[in-house]
Structure formats: structure tokens, C-alpha cells
Structure 1
């Protein structure tokens, strides 16, 4: 009788272990999907930022407007000044305008 209980409990535990493995596998897949999604969001943000810089170099007002509308830059004097000061990829003549 005791041996039967041990075998039954062992089988229950094996089933539980298998269920936990499947659950863990699903969770890992979700995490990998989220990481990939975050990477694409960063890439998309970087592309929009590059487009904003190009627009800025052609027409500074339109460039700033594009960056603000796409929430890449806050429409405050401090944020705009920081953007201009960093000047990454910006035409110095356009900054003067």
C-alpha cells in the first residue's frame, strides 16, 4: 500500500514537472518576443530621429516640429537647446538659423 502511494505521488510530481517546463518555455518565448519588440521600437525611434535631423538640416523649424510631433523632443526651450547643443548630425548653418 505504501509503495503504491509513493508511485502515485511520483507520477503526480512528474506530471507537475512537465507542466512547469511547458509553462517556463512559454514564458521564455514571451520574453524573447518582448525583447525583439523593444529592439524594433528602438530601431524605429532611431530612424525617426535621423529623419528629424535631415528635416532640420533642410528647414530647422520643420525639423523641430517633426521631432516634437513624433515625441522625440519636448517642445521646451531647454530640450530644444539641448538638442541643438548636442548637434549630432546637424548642419551648423541650420543651427544658426
Structure 2
């Protein structure tokens, strides 16, 4: 399986990529190598192999998601460059 220069140019246009002439030939070679590799994978007999659902048999151990305040209001404002009594001060962005 291989592709031609017109197909590469169409893919580059769809992906909003631009190549010069030397890079275009290099990319065409790389794309053909990838397609050949995929073709080799397609030829493998996988009829006796079960589909892989997980990469490992390990189970994620997650902590319970419990909401809590870990930083106090004062600690949150302590290193702010500009603040007033209760809020961060930021430059005005809307008129």
C-alpha cells in the first residue's frame, strides 16, 4: 500500500500544513512507511486473540471525592499582587 504526491498534498491542505519540495518528498516517504507498517499489521492472524480492554490487570485505587476547603480565604489572597479586602483586583477587560 502506498500513496502519491497528490494525496499527500490533499492531506496537507486538510491538516493546514505546508511543506517545501524537500520536506514534501520526505513526508511522502514517511507516510508510505507508515502505510506499509499498517498493511503488515492487517496481514496478522488475530482470530485466536481476545480483544484487549485494559493494558494491565491493575485496578485504580482512588480516594473518595469529598469537597473541602484546603486553602483559607486569607491564604488565597496572601500572595496576590493586587487585592482589596475580599477579592483579587484585575485590570478591567470589558467596557
| TM-score after normalising by structure 2 | 0.31
| TM-score after normalising by structure 1 | 0.30
